Amino acid sequence: MISAAALAVVASPVAGHAQDASSAEERDSEQGGDIVVTATLRDQNLSKVPVSVAAFSQEKLDEQGVRRVDDIAAKTPGVTLTRGDGRNASAATISIRGIASTAGSATTGIYIDDTPIQVRSIGFSAFTPFPAVFDLERVEVLRGPQGTLFGAGSEGGTVRFITPRPDLNEVQAYGRAELATTKSGDESYEIGAAFSVPLINDKLAFRASGYYRRDGGFIDRVDFDRTTREPTNLLDKNANSQDTLVLQSSLAFAPTETLTITPSVFYQKVTNDESNAFWEVLSDPDSSEYRTGGAVPNTNRDRFVLPALKIELELGAVSLVSNTSYFDRSQSAVNDYTAFEAGIWAGNPFYPAGIEARALQSNEQQNFTQELRLQSSDADARFNWVVGMFYSHNKQRAAQFVENEYLDDPVLLGNPVFPGGPTLFDIIFGGVPLVDGRYTFVLDDMEAVDEQIAGFAQADFKVTDKLTVTAGLRVADTRFTADAHFYGPVVGPEVNDSGKQKETPVTPKLGVSYQADDNNMLYASAAKGYRVGGYNPAVGLPCGVTAGPDPLPGTALGGLGLTNRPAFFDSDSVWSYEVGSKNRLFGRHLQVDASAFYIDWSNIQQTVALAQCGFTFVENLGSATSKGFDVALTANVTDDFALGASIGYTKAEFNETVYGGPSRAPGVRPIVTEGDDIPLNPWTIYLNGQYGYDIADKRGYTRFDFQHLSRQTALVPGTNPANGGTDPTIPGRPSSTTLSLRTGIELETFDVSLFVNNVFNANPQLTRARTPGPPGPNSLYTDTTLRPRTFGITVIGRY
């Protein structure tokens, strides 16, 4: 398979610097100039951008074995990625510098080229998709709020996936194939190829790529003995596989020397056959034996297509740029709710044999985006500026049908309380029957619409040849509407919610930079970021929902002093203060990028978990402070040996105690307590090294990549016993340490390498969750961990 794939593997165009050890040839070129980024919406060398940016070219991504956004986050200081949905293997949340939330609107902007694709957390299992790491010109990670140039959603920072453009003059090609095997798991493999061809020299060019990857599973789905809770029959071996298909195409048309028109299409489909969560009671991580006892597979299908049109017109001293796009996404999932339902209603998530409950969920996203900007063309001019207009209309639809036809069966709640009397089902739900004889909870076609129009401007003025002052401002008009219909016995009386919000956020930026010489720069900045408010779906009756004025004692909502969840929540915002430096020392043999930050976060949107009943809602939880630093170094020790290091530290904590409602009656506890930490890994460390050597007339290399995330020891809102709705058995962020090795040889246009990921077969408990129900011997815990040790071979071709 690999040899056949290698025949199709040819060529790629990009070289760059991403705080990583590299080959001698690349280092020689990089010493003359850094990778070019567009973090400020114009081309600049990375070392000259007064913003904390990590940038990775496609060659760097290949060299480090990066295949997913998880790998990018692990190699970038100050960035944390959490896969927090135990039922959906694709669900992930990325946060930067402690501005972390799984609730409400996104805190991190995710862009494909110039299009934001982040999703609002509405309904159930809505999450932001991430593009596959193949055929990219580069990935840029912008740390700190980017509200002036990138608007709402870039509150903590922005991650940009930049695709390559067709080359008007040269034929280019690139390809990659890989085969790997995982300990106690299935094989993984991929094949992808890209090419760019000029159709009319200097006038018209076409680029296309295709990529397919299968990540083999390593978690078995089994049946189990309800008494001993030991695994019995194997239902699906290595069930948690994932398939990814990506197709890209673009056309560059330059009818004149000043006009370029670039239409493009990006298509991606991801399919998951099971979640990446395993049951603790059925598994032995130290032996790489991972099992889930789910009655129903947790499947996910996620497809999006992104057509876009970019028009660039040079008008002498200024340039006009237009970006138009339409992001269309459809995601559907079947989630196993059997243990969830049994835990709530029977107090024992280890459900009787033969019972099944599932949630059928769907999320759709249609985003139209138009940006128009006018900017100065001469990067060396004393005064550089950009002004622009941005419009977006984002529509999301969500639906959920929870199916449990056994809920009114005697095996759960169907037994009469006394002979001839009502059943527990009748008493709990007030006679409301199952919908269509099978559904306990229905969210029927919830729709949320975000509409935004904004104007923005940013200018850089060189006070002297070395000192530059930056000022920027964005003013937006944002409108949000939501309509939702809930019904079913768990809901109680039907809920028809609708509402709207309107805001006019203003996000300024001020900065100063000092370019001491061509190799050294200092900078400081103050910037504001924000995200808009939103809507909370209904929660179930078992949470303590009541129409009366007083909270119900002993319930999850009652413990917070609430009678229901708040229907809406407000926007939040940050002010970030940053100082940094970018230094190229000793003839550029040592490169250092460092920054320190202090962030005030106000009116925070955060998830409140109702642990007793398994629901959540979003609330504005006062304020928090995040502070820390990040530093990235590359040392070209010799022509053949280079070392790289990226280190980040973040301390983020709440500044005040916040209650869910007005009640301060005995037994009512806060949602967060002053001093609680925001969940994150305080220290992030990434080290790498590469040594090159001659093998006959070829060039060989060996490299290592080491990553460490420190454990969070401080109390977080969900573990502090002073707070309501907490579960002390669920820890904060755990530590994890991984080592990867790769050795290869460069053969003309090909690169062939062998690799080992997770060399020591580490199995940290990345996440832990408990199925609803009373804590104790009947508690069911599910965990996620790293992929076990994986060996493989990679073939890459460039032309």
Write out the two tokens for 628: 């820390």
SS3 content of the chain, % helix, strand, coil (to 5): 10, 50, 40
Task: Identify the domain containing residue 17 by its residue range.
Answer: 2-403+434-760
8-state DSSP, 352: P
Answer with the residue of higher pLDDT: 728 or 375.
375
Within a domain: residue 793? no
CA nearest neighbour of 684 among 628, 634, 611, 723 = 628
Within a domain: residue 776? no
Rg of the Cα atoms in the chain: 27
> Is the pLDDT assigned to residue 413 strictly greater than 70?
yes
Pairing mode of beta strands 290-292, 358-376: unpaired
Reported as a pLDDT band with limits 50, 70 and 90, residue 18 is: very low
> Is the pLDDT assigned to residue 501 strictly greater than 80?
yes
Residue 83 to residue 101: CA distance in whole angstroms: 12
- For residue 427, count other CB atoms closer than 10 A to its CB: 12
Q: What percent of the chain has pLDDT over 70?
A: 93
- For residue 286, count other CB atoms closer than 10 A to its CB: 8
Residues 6+ apart with CB under 8 A from 354: none
Residue 499 to residue 486: CA distance in whole angstroms: 15
Decide if 605 contacts 622 (C-beta within 8 A): no
> Is the pLDDT assigned to residue 22 strictly greater than 60?
no
Decide if 364 contacts 396 (C-beta within 8 A): yes
Reported as a pLDDT band with limits 50, 70 and 90, residue 576 is: very high
Q: Tell me the pLDDT of the chain averaged across its residues.
A: 89
Query: What confidence score (pLDDT) does residue 728 get?
Result: 80
Residue 537 to residue 567: CA distance in whole angstroms: 7
**Alpha-carbon separation of residue 378 from 314, 344, 409, 570 (angstroms):** 11, 65, 74, 42
**Alpha-carbon separation of residue 167 from 164, 197, 252, 261, 264 (angstroms):** 9, 7, 8, 13, 14
Write out the two tokens for 26: 């690349």
Indicate the helix (H) or strand (E) that contains 222.
strand 219-224
Least confident of 171-185, 309-323, 507-521, 542-556: 542-556
Query: What confidence score (pLDDT) does residue 490 get?
Result: 85
Within a domain: residue 428? no
Residue 573 to residue 605: CA distance in whole angstroms: 9
Residue 388 to residue 475: CA distance in whole angstroms: 11
Cα maximum dimension of the chain: 92
Answer with the residue of higher pLDDT: 406 or 263.
263
Q: What percent of the chain has pLDDT over 90?
A: 61
Write out the two tokens for 452: 């935004």
Return phi, psi of residue 60, to 5°.
-65, -40
Residues 6+ apart with CB under 8 A from 475: 454, 455, 456, 504, 505, 506
CB-based burial label for 71 (10 Å; 0-12, 13-18, 19+):
buried
CA nearest neighbour of 144 among 511, 444, 656, 655 = 511
Query: What confidence score (pLDDT) does residue 306 get?
Result: 98
> Is the pLDDT assigned to residue 618 strictly greater than 70?
yes
Within a domain: residue 412? no
Within a domain: residue 798? no
Decide if 269 contacts 245 (C-beta within 8 A): yes
Decide if 219 contacts 290 (C-beta within 8 A): yes
Residue 497 to residue 484: CA distance in whole angstroms: 5
Within a domain: residue 416? no
Answer with the residue of higher pLDDT: 308 or 343.
308
CB-based burial label for 33 (10 Å; 0-12, 13-18, 19+):
middle
Residues 6+ apart with CB under 8 A from 485: 443, 444, 445, 446, 494, 495, 496, 497
Residue 396 to residue 127: CA distance in whole angstroms: 12
Least confident of 202-216, 486-500, 783-797: 486-500
- pLDDT per residue as tens digits for the range 649-678: 999 999 999 887 676 777 788 888 999 998
Answer with the residue of higher pLDDT: 174 or 427.
174
> Is the pLDDT assigned to residue 31 strictly greater than 90?
no
Average pLDDT of 194-222? 97
Reported as a pLDDT band with limits 50, 70 and 90, residue 774 is: low
Query: What confidence score (pLDDT) does residue 671 get?
Result: 83
Decide if 172 contacts 497 (C-beta within 8 A): no
Query: What confidence score (pLDDT) does residue 236 get?
Result: 96
Least confident of 206-210, 213-217, 494-498, 786-790: 494-498
Query: What confidence score (pLDDT) does residue 380 get?
Result: 86
What SS3 state is found at 489?
Answer: coil
Reported as a pLDDT band with limits 50, 70 and 90, residue 374 is: very high
Decide if 190 contacts 168 (C-beta within 8 A): no
Decide if 325 contacts 115 (C-beta within 8 A): yes
Of 10-24, 184-198, 610-624, give the range with the top mean pLDDT. 184-198
CA nearest neighbour of 607 among 657, 685, 536 = 536
Average pLDDT of 256-262? 97
- pLDDT per residue as tens digits for the range 434-488: 999 999 999 888 899 999 999 999 999 999 999 999 999 999 999 999 888 889 8
Query: What confidence score (pLDDT) does residue 301 get?
Result: 95
Residue 91 to residue 105: CA distance in whole angstroms: 15
Between vectors from CA 353 to CA 351 and to CA 357, what angle results, nearest 5°?
Answer: 55
Least confident of 211-225, 417-431, 766-780: 766-780
Query: What confidence score (pLDDT) does residue 186 get?
Result: 97
Q: DSSP letters along 705-721, please?
A: EEEEE----S--TTT-T
CA nearest neighbour of 71 among 745, 787, 633 = 787
Residue 696 to residue 674: CA distance in whole angstroms: 64
Decide if 325 contacts 309 (C-beta within 8 A): yes
> Is the pLDDT assigned to residue 125 strictly greater than 70?
no
Residue 250 to residue 47: CA distance in whole angstroms: 30
Write out the two tokens for 617: 């809602």
> Is the pLDDT assigned to residue 32 strictly greater than 80?
no
CA nearest neighbour of 367 among 333, 336, 395 = 395
Which CATH number does the domain housing residue 146 bear? 2.40.170.20
Residue 651 to residue 97: CA distance in whole angstroms: 9
Residue 756 to residue 745: CA distance in whole angstroms: 16
Average pLDDT of 620-641? 93
Q: How many residues belong to the chain?
A: 799
Within a domain: residue 794? no
Write out the two tokens for 417: 């309380």
CA nearest neighbour of 88 among 290, 237, 300 = 300
Residue 333 to residue 331: CA distance in whole angstroms: 7
Residue 226 to residue 222: CA distance in whole angstroms: 12
> Is the pLDDT assigned to residue 716 strictly greater than 50?
yes
Number of domains in the chain: 1
Query: What confidence score (pLDDT) does residue 552 get?
Result: 86
Query: What confidence score (pLDDT) does residue 85 get?
Result: 57
Within a domain: residue 417? no
> Is the pLDDT assigned to residue 102 strictly greater than 70?
no
- pLDDT per residue as tens digits for the range 509-532: 999 999 999 999 999 999 999 988
Least confident of 168-182, 426-440, 502-516: 426-440
Residue 779 to residue 263: CA distance in whole angstroms: 54
Residue 90 to residue 277: CA distance in whole angstroms: 12
Indicate the residue type of 261.
I
Least confident of 3-7, 35-39, 271-275, 586-590: 3-7
Return phi, psi of residue 303, to 5°.
-130, 140
8-state DSSP, 99: B
Least confident of 77-91, 276-290, 727-741: 77-91
> Is the pLDDT assigned to residue 25 strictly greater than 50?
no
